Amino acid sequence: MKKLANTFILCSLVAFIGSVSAQEYRNDSTEENKKKNDLPDRLTIGGYGEAVLSRNFYSDQWQRYTNAEQYKDAKNHGRFDLPHVVLSIGYDFGKGWSFGSEIEFEHGGTGSAVEIEAEETGEYETETERGGEVVLEQFWIQKSFCDAFNIRMGHIIVPVGMTNQYHLPTEFFTNYRPEGESTILPCTWHETGISLWGRTKNWRYEILFLPGLDADRFDSEGFISGGSGSPYEFKIANAYAGALRLDNYSIKNLRVGVSGYFGNSFSNSLSKNTKYKDYNGEVMIGTIDFHYKTRRLIARGNFDWAHLNDSEEITQFNKSMSNASPSPKMAVASDAVAAGIEMGYDIFSHISKMRRDDRKLYLFGRYEYYDAMAKVEKNVLDYGWCGKQRMALGLNYYPLKEIVVKAEYSKRFYKSQYNNEPTVSLGIAYAGFFTK
């Protein structure tokens, strides 16, 4: 009987301790959940997209520069386009760790399928139903120690030039991204690498370690812009590169930024032979840009210069590649330049109802000059049509901060032996987050 009583007392004691522990656990869990609920939402989903209708009052034939007189009175042609549609997903893991990603569909993405053709004895055929590209533009993990120091690793944007750093459709007036920068530099430029960045009161910096550009992909009209991609299932990294961006915000309403890049390119080829072993194809880029914004006025501008060493040897090598290679096999210049400025004035800022509704209507103008063959080596053919001036006039209507409707008239101006190229375009775009 005494033994039974002792057992009963022991069981009661265990039950009591268990109930107290359970209560403490519930209290701890409730407190932990309360802390979690106090945090902002960790998942962010957003993106941006553009749809454009254009009517081009010039020939769309590829010979229009080599036989300009033949296409002087060519019929106009129209295009519908989805320049960029991007879905971005981010997540805050906590303790300074976060994740970001962007998948981009350029010009409507791609569509292909394998079909059995009944009309052709049941053969299998691959049908291409839509052009364009699908690109993983960003995929990185970041550790933030403080505002002034962060480490980002993975597939990241290279912020060289104004457009690469500020490429949302609400960050420029034209229907398409500024032509100069997006012609001579990769745009949007994204590479797998490491970035160190931070922000203080008046300064933001970013330093990057990256694989070098691929000289196989350089060409006449685009200079080095094709060198950031890869036709293979991997990015060649026989050579490395570094990039830097610095932005200053000391003056009210004004941001001024400089950026630079240096890296070898000629050794980033799977096909390079010993004849060219002493050539590196160094790529050097320097840019300066600014953004000024008040309640009524926005002004932006940029100047970019890029230089390629050993451009003559790269031209010879690329032209000697087999027809089956993915190389453009074209002449490449030693220097390229791009400069542009745009200004927009908010007409609705003078209408009180529109101001209250935060609606805006910018009347804008843009001028730019760019030349992918600004300077060539003596044995490299200079294509004069690569030097272009472009003027644009138009309207940007913002019914909401995240949505813009764009109407634009633009014209490219060439040297006298070529035909100028006027265009009228209408577009709509958005940029924002679907979660808060």
3-class DSSP string for 115-167: EEEHHHCCEEEEEEEECCEEEEEEEEEEEEEECCEEEEEEEEECCCCHHHHCC
SS3 324: coil
Exposed / middle / buried, residue 220 (Cβ in 10 Å: 0-12, 13-18, 19+): buried
Amino acid, res. 165? Q
What is the C-alpha separation between 122 and 126, in angstroms, rounded? Answer: 13
CB atoms within 10 A of CB 140: 22
Per-residue pLDDT of the chain (436 residues; tens, 9 = 90+): 444 344 433 444 333 334 433 443 344 444 444 444 444 579 999 999 999 999 999 999 888 998 899 998 889 999 999 999 999 999 999 999 999 999 999 988 776 655 555 444 556 566 666 677 888 999 999 999 999 999 999 999 999 999 999 999 999 999 999 999 999 999 999 999 999 999 999 999 999 999 999 998 999 999 999 999 887 888 888 899 999 999 999 999 999 999 999 999 988 876 666 788 889 999 999 999 999 999 999 999 999 999 999 999 999 998 888 888 878 889 999 999 999 999 999 999 999 999 999 999 999 999 999 999 999 999 999 999 999 999 999 999 999 999 999 999 999 999 999 999 999 999 999 999 998 6
Pairing of strands 421-433, 297-308: unpaired
What is the C-alpha separation between 258 and 292, in angstroms, rounded? Answer: 15
What is the C-alpha separation between 106 and 375, in angstroms, rounded? Answer: 31
Please give the domain boundaries of the chain with CATH numbers for all domains: 42-433 (2.40.160.10)
Half-sphere exposure of 143 (CA within 13 A, CB side): 4
